[in-house]
Amino acid sequence: MNKLLILATILCFFASPCFSQDKPAGETSKETLVFIVNSEAPIWKDMNAKDIKNIFLGKIKNRDSIHILPTIRHNEDLKNEFLDLYIGLSANRFKSYWVKAVFSKGGERPKEFESLDELLNFIGEHTGAIGFARNSEIEELPDGVKTLTIQPE
């Protein structure tokens, strides 16, 4: 009986990925976080999750002579999801990190916006600006703005 239980457990463990429904390469879920950037800047080409973390922690401030401007919206659920997936900090620890960085190192914390429209307009007007949203929130992008899908580490 124990052997049968062990065999069944092993089969379930290895069989479950076979039944998952993966999306085709390049397809983005409606709930996926996407990064919003100015389409005129070539600096976003080879971005990865580590770069995102370093940008939003103020460790990468410039790239190819372009000043990077990280932005965040006043949406707690969205912000918490982003911080968990890409930064690895709670909202309180992220806030504390930036309070310390601003006062001890003269850092510039991410600019915050109330609405997605404000964020999109700012990114369209500033070459080095980067923000994020859920793919489902974005109906139409203004000129000069594009999205990037970057998988978390």
Q: Please report which confidence band the pLDDT of residue 153 belongs to, taking 50, 70 and 90 as the band edges.
A: confident
In this predicted structure, the answer to whether residue 22 has a pLDDT above a threshold of 80 is no
In the chain, where the domains are located? 23-148
In this predicted structure, the answer to whether residue 26 has a pLDDT above a threshold of 50 is no
Pairing mode of beta strands 62-63, 66-67: antiparallel
**pLDDT for position 30:** 54
- Joined together, the tokens standing for residue 74 give 């006043």
Report which of residues 53 and 12 the model is more confident about.
53
In this predicted structure, the answer to whether residue 10 has a pLDDT above a threshold of 80 is no
**pLDDT for position 31:** 74
State mean pLDDT over 54-70: 95
Q: Please report which confidence band the pLDDT of residue 11 belongs to, taking 50, 70 and 90 as the band edges.
A: very low
**pLDDT for position 3:** 53
| CATH code of domain 23-148 | 3.40.190.10
Alpha carbon distance 101, 145 (integer Å): 29
The 3-state DSSP composition of the chain as helix, strand, coil percent (nearest 5) reads 45, 20, 35
In this predicted structure, the answer to whether residue 121 has a pLDDT above a threshold of 90 is yes
